[in-house]
Structure 1
Amino acid sequence: MSTAEKTARISLYVTPACRAQLDHLWRETGRQKSEIVAEALNHYYETLRKDGKIRAAQ
């Protein structure tokens, strides 16, 4: 992973229900919120890729 990838920041609109779930996971696991969000986004990306809805970058 490049330095740019490690330091990239994105802004997301998070619904109140999603924020509540994120806060719950953060308190329950003690992990950083950014780690939880990154894991969820990676899982979503992999699901889309496996379903053939997007292709992996070459």
Structure 2
Amino acid sequence: MYYDLIKTKLGTILLAGDSECLKVVNIQDGKREYAIPSDWKQNKVFFKEVEEQLFQYL
């Protein structure tokens, strides 16, 4: 599973997924911070399109 953390005006957002789909979208600031498993690999390139779409929405 891949993940990335992006900074937005809403706070830091965790994106996580694999080649099939986006599986996690979580705002990391606050009480419900998602614990990132140690076997996940950070990959900014993998989420580039998702990040672009998210910033268009925000």
* Normalised TM-score (structure 2): 0.23
Larger % of strand: which?
Answer: 2
Task: Give the number of the structure with larger relative contact order, counting CA–CA contacts within 8 Å between residues 6 or more apart.
Answer: 2
Larger radius of gyration: 1
* Normalised TM-score (structure 1): 0.23
